[in-house]
Amino acid sequence: MAAPATSQVASTFGIHNDVILALTTSIFVLAYGIGPFFAGPMSEIYGRSRVLLLANLWFLGWNLGCGFARTEYELIAFRFLAGLGGSAPSSVGGGVLGDCWRTEERGQAIVLYSLAPLLGPVVGPIAGAWIAERSTWRWVYWSTSIMNAVVQILGFFLLQETYAPLLLERKAERIRRSMDAKKSPYREIRTVFEGQHRSWRSIMGKALIRPFALFFREPIVQLLGVYMAFLYGILYRNLSVFLTTMPSIFQGVYRQPVGIAGLHYIALGIGLTTASQLNARAMDKIYIHLKSKKGGVGKPEFRLPAMFPGTLILPIGCLIAGWTAQVHTHWIFPDIGIALVGSGIVLNFHSINTYIVDCFTLHAASAMASVSLLRSLAGFAFPLFAPAMYKTFGFGKGDTILAVAAIVIGCPAPWIFWHYGERIRKNSPYARSLLSS
């Protein structure tokens, strides 16, 4: 939502440096990559609900402060701090889904959950464009803070704990308290997790180290993390090119005002939503079908089929969007390309997220934190260099570069893990080498 209001921010604070202006938007995404390294492990110590509620409250306070910023540097600092709190669902959410759903049901749950953050760069710029046009940039932050306060109140009453080790520890403690410690033979009752030293020292000694260990030691996290970073960068590259400081496709080429130009994000939303709905219905059915063919033994690799078309649709969409805008065709053709880009992104996102959760179920939050680092760094960096790239090469050649990169980085990924994923998992101290139910 902040991107369409950058021109107002520049006018308010007298910003003439394009990089500083881009930082007021993209610094939030940088914090999105750092926050999960703390939120994910903390949720595996103190529980999912507690971390989510506290992180949301942190975000609420600093996001509200953004609307009262007096300088561009205050705004950048407040945006960064808000991003730390706002990042918690990106890692903890995957852990919650792994806690709540069985393997055969988890695909649809993750697809529906993933749709919300993917639609954010669609709904946000549309809403932000009209708020900026009808009011001031400060109301972009105040309006989101009002909505976030509603979520915080609902979460306080409705959000329940889901992390199994913590729930078992609480149950064991209730049983111990209800027994006579001297007479009961079960006074030493414990869970299988209580011998793992789940204290604050674990946070420093083990839990906070786990995401870094996954990041540097796990080929699954490394390769899929690089590709997800590229996808995330493309998603946030759109914010840079279409709605921020540089002339966008629909403002520059088609001479449309900010509010109308923002409506073209509906095309991205159509692509994201359509692919998401189709994949939500197909993912678990494909998993169950492949599992039955393997004698009832399920594998995380059964989550990858959607990636095969996804890795092809994405570069095709980039080429259509770039070259139709370059030659000034009717605006509907760039929208078609944008919709295909959205479809390719969502198919790959769903497969990667579900595959990672299935591989690292107990430590899903830490694994998601590892993957989120690279993708958030890309989301932070793309808006900084993308305008210069398009200014130099134009929309056609610029999107051709992205399409070639999408093919080189993305297309080998599903093939590698389909054929070698199980072998990689068997050599991993964190991944589950066999899923069965």
In this structure, of 56-70, 72-86, 335-349, 366-380, the range with the lowest mean pLDDT score is: 366-380
Dump pLDDT digits (tens) for 45-73: 788 999 999 999 999 999 999 999 999 99
CATH code, domain carrying 426: 1.20.1250.20
Residue 183 placed within a domain:
no
Model pLDDT, residue 396? 86
**How does residue 300 score in pLDDT terms, banded at 50, 70 and 90?**
confident
Expressed as residue numbers, the domain containing 66 is 3-161+207-430
Count H helices and E strands in the chain, helices first: 18, 2
Across 10-29, average pLDDT: 83
Cα–Cα dist 371/352, whole Å: 10
Lowest mean pLDDT among 145-159, 190-204, 387-401: 190-204
Q: Which residue has the higher pLDDT, 139 or 362?
A: 139
Q: What is the per-residue pLDDT for 244?
A: 39
Helix, coil or strand: residue 290: helix
Per-residue pLDDT tens for 208-240? 677 777 777 788 887 787 777 777 766 655 544
| Residues 6+ away with beta carbon under 8 Å from 311 | 344, 348, 406, 407, 410, 411, 413, 414
Measure the CA dihedral 314/315/317/320, to 10°: 180
Higher confidence at residue 104 or residue 58?
A: 58
322-335 per-residue burial string, b: 16 or more CB within 10 A, e: under 16: bbbbbeeeebeebb
Rounded Cα distance between 131 and 235, Å, is 22
215 assigned to some structural domain:
yes
In a domain, 362, yes or no: yes
Please tell me the total count of domains within the chain. 1
Give the mean pLDDT of 147-155.
93
Largest CA distance in the chain: 85
Residue 39 has pLDDT above 90, yes or no: no
What is the identity of the amino acid at 25? T
**Confidence label for 437 from pLDDT (cuts 50, 70 and 90):** very low
In this predicted structure, what is the pLDDT of residue 154? 94
Q: Summarize the confidence of residues 163-178 as an average pLDDT.
A: 81
Distance of alpha carbon 271 from alpha carbon 279, whole angstroms: 12
Residue 169, in any domain of the structure: no
CA dist 273 and 122 (Å) reads 11
Backbone angle region of 328, left / alpha / beta, with phi > 0 → left and psi within -120 to 50 → alpha: left
Model pLDDT, residue 20: 85
**Comparison of pLDDT for 97 and 336, the residue scoring more:** 336
pLDDT attached to residue 67: 92
Q: By the 8 A CB rule, do 118 and 379 touch?
A: no
pLDDT (0 to 100) of residue 259? 62
pLDDT digits (tens, 9 = 90+) for 236-267: 555 444 433 333 566 566 776 666 666 777 88
The torsion defined by the Cα of 9, 66, 17 and 1, in degrees rounded to 10, comes to -60
Mean pLDDT over the full length of the chain = 79
pLDDT given at position 183? 55
Q: Of 356, 345, 343, 392, nearest to 106 (Cα)?
A: 356
Average pLDDT score over residue span 373-400: 76
